[in-house]
């Protein structure tokens, strides 16, 4: 397990009660960080979260699609731990599997609200403090779907493409500060988000990966940890692939 020095650092991880976010939170705590987990549902966090030292993390119910909720979570985090040094945007939903011509308009808006607006809301909230202190690391979880587009997943693919663009834009805005903004574009991981799509679609996504398996959340956490560390002192506005060979650019 790779480890970087996060002693004294405060990290916010959205969607951190389960899946990718939980794996990142566990690795962050093991590396010395204190972690605020912002999640819509904090009632049933993974065992890897509940096994952590209770002084090293807090669970804050947060709807990232609602700016007011995000701002309230930020205030609670500051009261508990202090200013935020690291932000990992892992909260996301898949939305229904449907052709665009039949895609429910309300579901389209909900996917954008969580995946895209949620990333905007959290970045908007934590960036001013990072700029003031001239230090910060932001890692946005996009998807290979944002590069290539998955059929019958237009809302999800669109939202993740927009997260990539947001990352590049914000990375340039903050380039003269020691605030790195990068994103990852993983292939599918076996997490709760797959509960939202059909088995046929799951098999399609697996078939697109040359390694012929899904990425694990721990593999994703390994890459995120370096991206969120002080050692990542130059790269910003970049996209890191975890696609098992699927990505073509």
Answer yes or no: are the C-beta atoms of 13 and 29 closer than 8 Å: no
Whether the Cβ atoms of residue 246 and residue 52 lie closer than 8 Å to each other: no
The interaxial angle of helices 19-30 and 217-227, nearest 10 deg, is 50
The full DSSP string for 44-109 is S--HHHHTS-GGGEEEEE--TT-HHHHHHHHHHHHHHT-S--EEEE--------B-GGG--HHHHH
Is residue 205 a contact partner of residue 243, using CB atoms and an 8 Å limit? no
Is the separation of the CB atoms in 106 and 53 below 8 Å?
no
Using the structure block, give the residue that is written with the tokens 């599997």. Answer: 97
Active site residues: 156
């Amino acid at each position: 397990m790779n480890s970087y020095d996060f002693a004294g650092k405060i990290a916010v991880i959205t969607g951190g009660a389960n899946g990718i976010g939980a794996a990142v939170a566990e690795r962050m705590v093991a590396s010395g960080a204190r972690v605020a987990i912002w999640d819509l549902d904090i009632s049933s966090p993974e065992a890897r979260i509940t096994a952590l030292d209770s002084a090293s993390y807090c669970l804050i119910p947060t709807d990232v699609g609602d700016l007011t909720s995000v701002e309230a979570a930020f205030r609670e985090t500051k009261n508990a731990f202090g200013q935020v040094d690291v932000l990992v945007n892992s909260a996301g939903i898949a939305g229904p599997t449907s052709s665009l011509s039949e895609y429910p308009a309300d579901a389209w808006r909900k996917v954008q609200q969580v995946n895209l607006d949620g990333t905007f809301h959290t970045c908007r909230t934590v960036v001013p403090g990072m700029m003031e202190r001239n230090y910060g690391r932001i890692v946005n979880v996009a998807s290979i779907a944002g590069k290539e587009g998955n059929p019958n997943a237009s809302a999800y693919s669109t939202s993740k493409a927009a997260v990539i663009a947001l990352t590049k834009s914000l990375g340039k805005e903050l380039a003269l500060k020691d605030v790195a903004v990068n994103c990852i574009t993983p292939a599918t991981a076996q997490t709760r988000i797959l509960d939202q799509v059909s088995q046929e679609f799951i098999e399609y996504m697996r078939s697109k990966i040359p390694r012929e398996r899904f990425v694990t959340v721990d593999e994703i956490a390994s890459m995120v940890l370096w991206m969120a560390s002080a050692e990542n002192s130059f790269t910003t506005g970049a996209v890191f692939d975890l696609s098992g060979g699927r990505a073509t650019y």
